[in-house]
Amino acid sequence: MGKVISAMSISVDGYVGAADPEQWWPVHERLHGWVFGLAAWRSRQNMEGGAHTVSSDLVAEEFAGTGAYVLGRNMFDYGQEPWGEKPPFQAPVFVPTHRPREPLTRIGTTFTFVTEGIEAALKLAREAAGDKNVFVSGGASIVQQCIRAGLLDELHLHQTPVLLGAGIRLWDDIGTDWKDLQPTRVTAADGVTHLYYGFDNTQK
């Protein structure tokens, strides 16, 4: 069985998005700009070209190792239209939500909406992924839920060299218990540092 992994682009002071709607796009571009020109990312967006760099290799590795995704409902609602008929996931996607709806099938991907909570969504995703990993793709709230409940095996932080000072902070609402992490990989790249951690879940 694979691992449950999440990855987030994050500022040095721990922010993963903007709380102010007017700042959403500038913050999004600053945090995620490192990925937009990569060959591996562009290929999954049905785009040609892109740079073949160490960051592209790491993104390709994440895509190749993933057999299913868990995705927050807000992220689905925002992405459904721009993703179009061939979303970038190319694997089953499970969406925890309080708003039930029928599964949505697109080229290479079926979105299944799970009303029984994050653990139920992860259970279905593990079954669908087989020997591959389950990737918790965000947004911040669903990753926080997983950290709080001790459901992640690995957390990949793509840290961009900026101090935002305000916004949606990943480290809020993750519970008060200690969570021991094991650094497994640090890779410095152009405009981003990739920090990979494993969780010590032996006491779960």
Predicted pLDDT at 52: 97
Predicted pLDDT at 200: 81
Question: Phi and psi for 148 in degrees, rounded to 5?
Answer: -60, -40
Question: How much of the chain exceeds pLDDT 90, in percent?
Answer: 88
Is pLDDT at 186 greater than 70 in this prediction?
A: yes
Is pLDDT at 204 greater than 60 in this prediction?
A: no
Is pLDDT at 29 greater than 90 in this prediction?
A: yes
- Of the candidates 116, 164, 119, the residue with the CA atom closest to the CA atom of residue 19: 164
Q: Which residue has the tokens 């992640």?
A: 152
Is pLDDT at 48 greater than 90 in this prediction?
A: yes
- CB neighbours of residue 7 within 10 Å: 20
Distance CA 196, CA 102 (A): 35
CATH superfamily of 4-192: Dihydrofolate Reductase, subunit A (3.40.430.10)
| Whether the predicted model's global pTM rises above the 0.85 cut | yes
Is pLDDT at 148 greater than 90 in this prediction?
A: yes
Distance CA 140, CA 17 (A): 8
**pLDDT tens profile 71-96:** 999 899 988 888 889 999 999 999 99
Give the pLDDT band (50/70/90) at residue 201. low
CA 162 to chain centre: 20
Helix (H, G, I), strand (E, B) or coil at 116: coil
Mean pLDDT for the chain overall? 94
Peptide bond into 84 cis (omega under 30): no
Question: How much of the chain exceeds pLDDT 70, in percent?
Answer: 98
**pLDDT tens profile 154-182:** 999 999 999 999 999 999 999 998 889 99
Helix (H, G, I), strand (E, B) or coil at 81: helix
